[in-house]
Each structure stands twice: as structure tokens, then as C-alpha cells.
Amino acid sequence: MTIAAMQGIVKRYGNELALDYVDLSIQEGEIVGLLGPNGAGKTTLIHTLLGMIPFDKGNIQLFGRTDNVFSHENKQKLGLVTQELTVFEDLTAKENLEFFAGVYGLKGEERKKRVEEALAFVGLSSKSGKTPATFSGGMKRRLNIACALTHHPKLLIMDEPTVGIDPQSRNHIMETVKKLREQGTTILYTTHYMEEVQTIASRVVIVDQGQIITEGTVNELIANIQHEEKVNIDVSAPGDVPVERLKGLEGVKNVHVDGSTVQIISTVGSGNLDRLLSLIKETSGVVGIQAEKPNLEDVFLTLTGKQLRDGEGEE
């Protein structure tokens, strides 16, 4: 069953085209991983789907409705975990949840039960009476997630819910997302962390410059770029590597310097390793070479020409 769908959605901010005829459909029970570089349009897509901002063209369908899509009844079935923390620092964890449960119309005993359940779900029961000011970054993120759960949304949208937290808290959140799915929640999940998508997403949608440029399971997307090969060359002077000249060599599709490693993606069978090495050796020593199988990161790099976490200063 289709839980949510966008057809031909166009969204402009002044002259800036943020969504460029986006078609997306989300089926019940999926975890859709939404990936895109900074400014690709992910947050705009989410806010449009939630009815938080107007759009210029196209149609949205939610929970089987095509008219009055953002009715009170439909909005009650949506949950949003925002990118920015939206918890109140001077309320306790429990009071925060009571506030958000109240916003969704929960009252009395039902509200009390749902608040306790949500705290337990994210592993914060023992911190119920403490304020977020005393929490670690990861605990605040978990509370932020709990705030979106008390009303048991059918579709939960998570906008980069793990930004800037430690690996242990991230694993905890990954487990929470899997548990939610087992309980029947459909999830749209945006992140800059490829490993998260590889761990939890049943389908991946890649957005760039306001357009969906590809979608499929992780394995399908990787299979689509199997006509490419990747070689990692460790060098002694990474700053001197002639990236643009390497990009100009026959068969080369992308070059990226990561620390002291030059990652080069080429068309399969281009046989350009000798030429790559000679060019690099003009300015730097070569310390090691490894061939690598492509992963989701390479799919992203091949399709967008960008690293997922370009310009990010997280963690």
C-alpha cells in the first residue's frame, strides 16, 4: 500500500529551484533512505511532504487521500524528527514528552502511558525526571526522537537524526529505527552517513539539485555502477597530486583525495593504471595501491560528483 506519494512536485524559493519535478512514492513498511549532498533539497522535500511549506506545482497523496491531504486526521498519522533539536532545555524529559503528546491530542492516562512507553523505547526511562541540559548529545537526540513517537505515527520522517553524536548512540538510534519498523512504522530517513543507509534502508533515494537522480536497493544501485572500478593510491605528498590532470586521463570518471589516499574511479577495463601512477609520481611518492569493490559511497560520488559529507564539520 502506498503511504505517501509526490508527483511532479516543483518548489521554488524566489528564483532558486529547490525541487525540480520530484516523483516519489513510499510504500507501507519501507525504510526509505534519502541521501543527497548539502543543499540538494532533502529538507525541502520533507517539509513539502508534511505540508509545512507551500509548493508551486504537482500533487501529494497521503494515506490514500488525494484531496484535503493535510487534514487534521492525516497530520495525526505523521511524525517528524527534526534536524535541529526541538526539546525544551528547562523541562524534564518526561515533561517534554507530555508537551508533545498534548500537541497531538493525547490526554490523561493514555498520555501518561504513551510518554512512559516512548521514554522506554529510546532507553531514557531512568532519565525521566532529568532536564536535557544534563544529557549528552546522543541522549538529547534520543529524546528528540521520542518526542515524535508518543502518538504512534504511521509515517515517521527523520531528518538527519544522528548528526554529531557518538557511535554508541548512533547504534542505539539504528536499533530504535529497526524496532519501529518491526512495529509497523514506515520511515523516511535522511542522513549524510552512508553506513546508516547500508544498515537500515530497504530502499535508497538519491537527490541532487532538487531532482531524484536514482533509487533502488543498496545492491541494485551498486550493480548499476559495476561498469566502474576503483583504485586507492596512497601517496607521500597528497597536497601535490595533480587532481585535474588525473581527471583528464582516458577512462577516469572521478578523482578524490582523502587524507593521504587518492581514490580514482575509472571505467572497467580502461587499463590506465600505468598512466595514473606516472602522473602521480611526477609530484609525489607512491606508498601503496589497492583495488576496491564499489560501495554506496561510490554510487553517490559517481552520480553526483560529490562526496556525501563535503563541507560538513560534524563530529
Ligand X SMILES: Nc1ncnc2c1ncn2[C@@H]1O[C@H](COP(=O)(O)OP(=O)(O)OP(=O)(O)O)[C@@H](O)[C@H]1O
CB of 250 to ligand X, least distance (A): 34
Half-sphere exposure of residue 270: CA atoms within 13 angstroms, side-chain side: 20
CB of 53 to ligand X, least distance (A): 8
With cell 587499463, the residue in question is 271
CA torsion angle 79 83 84 86 (round to 10) = 10
- For residue 109, give Cα distances in angstroms to 112, 116, 123, 129: 5, 11, 21, 18
Taking CB under 6 A as the criterion, which residues in 35-74 touch ligand X? 36, 38-44
Q: Where are the beta strands (DSSP E) in 193-260?
A: 203-208, 211-216, 228-235, 252-258
Only one of the segments 34-42, 138-146, 181-189, 220-228 lies at the binding site for ligand X (rule: CB under 6 A); that segment is 34-42
Instruction: Indicate if the alpha-carbon torsion angle 245, 248, 249, 252 is positive or negative.
Output: positive
What binding mask, one character per residue, do residues 177-216 give for ligand X by CB under 6 A, x or -? ----------------------------------------
CB of 197 to ligand X, least distance (A): 14
What binding mask, one character per residue, do residues 76-115 give for ligand X by CB under 6 A, x or -? ----------------------------------------
- Determine phi and psi for 211, rounding to 5 degrees: -125, 150
Q: How many residues bind ligand X (CB under 6 A)?
A: 11
Site membership for ligand X, residue 12 (CB under 6 A): no
For 46-67, letters b (16+ CB in 10 Å) and e give bbbbbbeeebeebebbbbeeee
- For residue 98, give Cα distances in angstroms to 20, 83, 137, 176, 221: 39, 21, 21, 20, 42
Only one of the segments 13-21, 114-122, 128-136, 148-156 lies at the binding site for ligand X (rule: CB under 6 A); that segment is 13-21
Site membership for ligand X, residue 13 (CB under 6 A): yes
Q: End-to-end CA distance of the chain, in Å? A: 38
Site membership for ligand X, residue 290 (CB under 6 A): no
Judged by CB, which is closer to ligand X: 175, or 312? 312
CB of 8 to ligand X, least distance (A): 18
Site membership for ligand X, residue 33 (CB under 6 A): no
Binding site for ligand X (CB under 6 A): 13, 16, 18, 36, 38-44
